[in-house]
Amino acid sequence: MTVFPKWRPWLRLGRIDLMWLLVMAALAVLASTRPRHSPYEFLALGAIALMQVAEMRFPVFASRSGTVLAVVVKLALCWVLVGVTEGIESSYYLIFLLPVVSAASTFGLAGTLLTAFAGSLAYLSFLGFVWDQYELPPEGARELGLRILFIFMTGILLNHFVTENRRQAERYRKLADDLAEANRNLRQAQAQVRRSERLAALGQLSAGLAHELRNPLGVIRGSAELVSKNVSAENEIVREMAALIVSEADRTNGLITRFLEFARPSPLHRCQADLHVVIQEAIHQVQRSLPPGANGLRLETDFGKDIEVFSFDPELMERVFFNLLENGVQAMPGGGELKVTTRRLGDAVETEISDTGAGIAPENLESIFNPFFTTKQNGVGLGLAIVSKIVDDHNGKITVSSQPGRGTTFKVILPLSEASST
């Protein structure tokens, strides 16, 4: 048989709920031993027990308005319980601590004191029923005063413990956030180390392979040119094939040049330069390379005003920004928004280049800076590898985040001083 969903919370009672019900059952047993017990006493105890369990089990009581409702209902039930058990002389006067506990766990000190004041008024209201029948001796007044002060004292102590617990929980939460951030930074650092190791190994391989290929490639090209010069004019097919060999040899030689460019260490020529001027020049290069009719592309800049000139290699960094901007343009063949933002981050400068293109698949994010990895049909896979190498040579950091269908964001962080980068 399927249990109706709204009753499921009542069937999943925890240990605290069971302990609470056992305590209330024990109170009911003790109440039954009193000579003048009333059936309303058991009803009031049962209602308070159910209300307490409901407050701990149902989400409606988790909000501040829900807690206010729970406090009001508990005050009313406690007033009924004390009223049916001898009023001002009832042994259940401590039951008014229940709404005070609820208030202390949710509200601040003011809310706790207000609830304690309301509970005290509810308890003292029973004096009105016996004021014309009994005289309140000094000992009775002192006893009532002690009971009321005990309610306030308990509320203040509970509020103090709850406040300290919240502060401790907040400290633990901040510590957990700091640890999570440190863990993310550690994973990024490990990824950068792995990337650097792969770059070094593949760079050495590329350098050796490029040197070995360049000599026979020169022989092939020279031979093709010689054939083209010495073949008869009537043999058009041979002349065309020779020209094709020369063209492909030149293209392959350019590719080898890029391999060597990646493999060889690029010495930095640092000078005091304006980062924004370098970015603007890269933007102008991208705009000049745009095909005719590329009107759907919107390029925006948001440069930080507190970024002064600092030491870096402007020529190499211009290549970095041009490459990233060009990738953004290529990711938006139908147009979109390309935005460049710079901001000061302590002793470093962050340059953010974001596009609204197709994005990068999550499984490729770890590999896009690897040499020879590309998703482009005619790509070589060295552009972002060289970008990463240049940024690493500046002792900077480059990161990427992307959402497929929503765009990609590259962040380049450069130290403001050579001293901080060593």
Q: What is the pLDDT of residues 180-227, one digit of tens each?
A: 888 888 887 887 777 667 666 666 666 667 667 777 888 888 888 887
What was the pLDDT predicted at 275?
Answer: 95
CA 414 centroid distance within chain: 23
**Which range scores top for mean pLDDT: 59-68, 142-151, 231-240, 271-280?**
271-280
What was the pLDDT predicted at 410?
Answer: 94
- The predicted model gives 60-87 an average pLDDT of 86
Determine the Cα–Cα distance for residues 278 and 317; give it in Å rounded to an integer: 7
Summarised one tens digit per residue, pLDDT across range 224-283 is 888 777 777 667 787 788 888 888 888 787 777 766 666 665 678 899 999 999 999 999
- Report yes or no on 191 lying in a domain: no
Last residue of a domain, one of 67, 99, 134: 134
- Report yes or no on 214 lying in a domain: no
- Nearest Cα to Cα of residue 80 among 50, 47, 56: 47
Determine the Cα–Cα distance for residues 118 and 125; give it in Å rounded to an integer: 10
**Pair 65, 71: CB distance under 8 Å:** no
Last residue of a domain, one of 134, 168, 199: 134
Top-confidence residue, 400 or 45: 400
- At residue 10, does pLDDT exceed 50? no
What was the pLDDT predicted at 417?
Answer: 80
Determine the Cα–Cα distance for residues 85 and 93; give it in Å rounded to an integer: 10
CA 269 centroid distance within chain: 38
Helix (H), strand (E) at residue 115: helix 109-124
DSSP-assigned beta bridge partners for residue 415: 348
Is this prediction's pTM over 0.75? no
What was the pLDDT predicted at 16?
Answer: 66
- Report yes or no on 19 lying in a domain: yes
Q: Are 275 and 420 found together in one domain?
A: yes
Percent of the chain scored above 90 by pLDDT?
18
Determine the Cα–Cα distance for residues 337 and 335; give it in Å rounded to an integer: 7
- At residue 26, does pLDDT exceed 70? yes
What was the pLDDT predicted at 422?
Answer: 44
List C-alpha distances in Å: 226 to 40, 112, 216, 245, 411: 116, 99, 15, 12, 50
What was the pLDDT predicted at 207?
Answer: 66
What are the structure tokens assigned to 386, written together? 């060289």
- Report yes or no on 202 lying in a domain: no
Lowest-pLDDT range of 12-21, 37-46, 83-92, 273-282: 12-21
- Report yes or no on 264 lying in a domain: no
* CATH code of residue 416: 3.30.565.10
Determine the Cα–Cα distance for residues 58 and 69; give it in Å rounded to an integer: 13
What is the residue range of 383's domain?
271-422
- Report yes or no on 44 lying in a domain: yes
- At residue 421, does pLDDT exceed 60? no
Q: Are 277 and 422 found together in one domain?
A: yes
Q: Kindly tell me the burial class for residue 268, based on how many C-beta atoms sit within 10 Å of its own C-beta (0-12, 13-18, 19 or more).
A: middle
What was the pLDDT predicted at 282?
Answer: 93
- Please report which confidence band the pLDDT of residue 4 belongs to, taking 50, 70 and 90 as the band edges: very low
Last residue of a domain, one of 134, 150, 173: 134
- Mean pLDDT, all residues of the chain: 81
- Report yes or no on 248 lying in a domain: no
Q: In degrees rounded to 5, what are phi and psi of residue 350? A: -110, 130
What's the total number of domains in the chain? 2
- Please report which confidence band the pLDDT of residue 20 belongs to, taking 50, 70 and 90 as the band edges: low
- Report yes or no on 155 lying in a domain: no
* Residue 347: CB atoms within 10 Å: 12
Determine the Cα–Cα distance for residues 222 and 215; give it in Å rounded to an integer: 11
**Pair 378, 255: CB distance under 8 Å:** no
Top-confidence residue, 320 or 217: 320
